[in-house]
Structure 1
Amino acid sequence: MEKQLTAQAQSALDSVTKQDESMVESGVERASDGMHTQPDLSAGHAYQLTVVCAGKGAAEITFTPRKTAASKTVSCDRSVVSERFTASRQVRIDTQAKPDASGMIAWRLNSI
């Protein structure tokens, strides 16, 4: 089941983002494990995070510092959620599954 959900999330992500020279990082994680990254970004530069969750329930995306971007919810129905932001000195991006959520989260961070 994980392979199938991973393929669904990855396919949805690939349909809306490019895996080219603008890609900074990407990955696929279990919703229950969450995504946790502190990428090496250039302060003052614009980036776009795109997240897809395949499965059931939802997960919350948070940015630290919080002024970077507002928290967002991504439904695990293969909906695509994107957030553009300007990087500060250090940015941490996390996802946390809501109760009873399960599935796979695919994500990609691009420079824009």
Structure 2
Amino acid sequence: MTKQPRPLGRNLVLCASLLCAAVVTGCTSDPGGPSAPASSPGQQQKSPSNASGLTDEKLGKQVEKTLDTAEVSDSEPLFVEAGLERVGDGFHSVPDLTRGHSYKLSVVCAGKGKISLSIAVKKPVRQTIDCDGVTFRQRLTASAAPIKIDGDGMPGATGMVGWRVDKADK
């Protein structure tokens, strides 16, 4: 799942980014990728990327289910944005938050290893999160400066990481 911010300009930037990523992925696929011919029965797959691709899909669905983002839409009154990335790619978000309002950040990593999460707020938060499928939650209060949320896989970490930002209940 990709970010679903409200402003149209950010949606256009996101669409352009996804298109570029699709083109780059298509140009750099390994021979065992999705466009390769199916192997004959009894022949073992030589490319580990096929196995990890299926694992990423399964782990991504697990993360989406945990965060309840599989069917989320901008019409939900408390929803701000959500995203899903491979742990190795990391994620970087600057959500569009209203100054003085409170928000809830939820982050889930599923796979193996750990990610390093940093949240640039008035009192910066740095947290190491295990990729065990357990939700990390942090309350945020928007100030004049944009809040930056970054998650990066630590060495050897694999899997999927997702995040969701919602307005806090009053």
Partner amino acid for 1:96?
D
**Counterpart of 1:21?**
77
| Structure with greater Cα Rg | 2
Q: Structure 2 length normalisation: TM-score?
A: 0.60
Extract structure 1 runs of 4+ deviating beyond 3 A.
none
Task: Give me the whole-angstrom Cα distance separating, in 2, the residues matched to 1:43 and 1:104.
Answer: 30
Higher strand share: 1
The alignment-based identity, stated in percent, is 39
- Pair 1:35 & 2:94 matched: no
In the alignment, structure 2 segments of 5+ residues that lack a partner are 1-54
Higher helix share: 2
Aligned length, in residue pairs: 109
Q: Deviations over 1:41-83 (max 9, x none)?
A: 111110110011110001111112462x421222111011000
Partner amino acid for 2:147?
V
Tell me how far 1:13 sits from its aligned partner: 1.6
- Pair 1:5 & 2:65 matched: no
- Pair 1:110 & 2:166 matched: yes
In the alignment, structure 1 segments of 5+ residues that lack a partner are none
- Larger RCO: Structure 1 or Structure 2 (Cα < 8 Å, ≥ 6 residues apart)? 1
RMSD of aligned alpha carbons: 1.8
